[in-house]
Amino acid sequence: MLFDDHVATNVREPAVAGAFYPGSPTALRMMLQELLDAANPDPVPGEIMGLACPHAGYQYSGLVAAHGYKLVMGKRFDVVVVLAPSHQEYFRGASVFPGQAYKTPLGVVPVDTELAHQVAHASEFASLSWYGHRSEHALEVQLPFLQMVLTDLKIVPIVIGEYDYDICTDVGRGLASVLRGKKALFVASTDLYHGYSYEECVSTDERTLRKIVSWDIEGLCQGLLTGDYQACGGGPVATTMTALRELGANHAEVVTYTNSADVTGERGGWTVGYAAIAFSKV
C-alpha cells in the first residue's frame, strides 16, 4: 500500500454527521446522554481491555453501543485503538491514519501520532494511509461515544481492508508488541447479519457471537469468508482479539444484542444484527 501524502489536511473532518448521528453538538450530546442513561449493562468480570460495538445510525444501534461504552465510562486509558472495516474502498491490510486528528461535532480527537507510526511499522500488512478513512462511517460513529465517556482521549484510528486470518493476526500481533506496557482500550467496530430474513439474522448472529466468545479467531475468519458467520467488521474483531489475547485478555462476553427489526418493530425487510461485546482479563 502506498502512503498517499497528497492529502492536504492533517485533520479528518466529519463525513456522516447529520446522517448517522446529529450534526448539531447540542443535539448530539443530548442524544448520547440519553442513550448512556438508558444503558444498564451487567458488570463484566476482570479488567476491560476491549469492546466490539455496532456502527449503524444511532437511532438503530446507538443503545447497543451505549451498553458497551457505559462499561468504560470514567476509566482512564493511555490510548484507544479504534479499528473499523472499509465499506467504500478496497485495499489489502491495515490502513493506519497518518494525520493529527479526527473531528466530530463534539470537537477534535487527537491521534497519538507516535504510536500510529509505530503500529504502521509493526506489521508488513500495515501502512500509514488515508485509504478507508476519507468517508468511512464505521470508525467515525464510535468517536462521539468515546468523547462522552473518556477524558484525555487519544486514538489510533485503523481501517482493516479484509478478513484474511494471516493478515489480521499479523497486524494484531504488531499492535500488541507496540502497546505492551500501556493501558490501551481496543474498540472493534462491527455490525453482524445483513439480509432479509429475521429468523436467519437471529440464528446467524448466534453462531457468529458464539465463535467470538470462544476466542476461535481462525474459525471466525474462515466462517466469515464462507458465509457461515456474518460480521462486516470481522477483520477488526479478529485483529482486536489477536492483540488482546497477546496482551493477556482471556474473557469475552456479549453485553447486549438486538437487530434492526426488533428496534423498528418491522419484520420482513432488510435486517441488520447489532451486539456489544466486552473483552477482559480475568
Helices (H), 87-197: 113-120, 137-140, 143-149, 165-179
With CA atoms as reference, report the closest residue to 255 among 33, 61, 29: 61
Report pLDDT digits (tens) over 88-135: 888 889 999 999 999 999 999 999 999 999 999 999 999 999 999 999
As a whole number, the mean pLDDT across the chain is 95
d(CA 32, CA 153): 17
Q: Which domains does the chain have, with CATH numbers?
A: 11-281 (3.40.830.10)
The residues, ordered by sequence, that sit 6+ positions from 210 with a Cβ below 8 Å of its Cβ are: none
Report pLDDT digits (tens) over 19-69: 999 999 999 999 999 999 999 999 999 999 999 999 999 999 999 999 999
Q: What is the mean pLDDT of residues 4-11?
A: 58
Q: Are strands 251-259 and 271-281 parallel, antiparallel or unpaired?
A: antiparallel
With CA atoms as reference, report the closest residue to 267 among 203, 197, 192: 197
Q: How confident is the model at residue 268 (pLDDT cuts 50, 70, 90)?
A: confident
Q: Are strands 79-85 and 184-189 parallel, antiparallel or unpaired?
A: parallel
Q: How confident is the model at residue 240 (pLDDT cuts 50, 70, 90)?
A: very high
Handedness of CA 165, 167, 170, 174 (dihedral sign): negative
* Percentage of residues in the chain having pLDDT higher than 90: 94
- The pLDDT value recorded for residue 76 is 96
- The pLDDT value recorded for residue 9 is 64
Report pLDDT digits (tens) over 223-233: 999 999 999 99
- The pLDDT value recorded for residue 98 is 96
78, with CB counted inside 10 A (0-12, 13-18, 19+), is: middle
d(CA 188, CA 279): 11
Q: Classify 46 in phi/psi space as left (phi over 0), alpha (psi -120 to 50) or beta.
A: left
**pTM of the predicted model, to two decimals?**
0.95
- The pLDDT value recorded for residue 111 is 98
Residue 149, amino acid = V
With CA atoms as reference, report the closest residue to 80 among 245, 256, 246, 240: 240
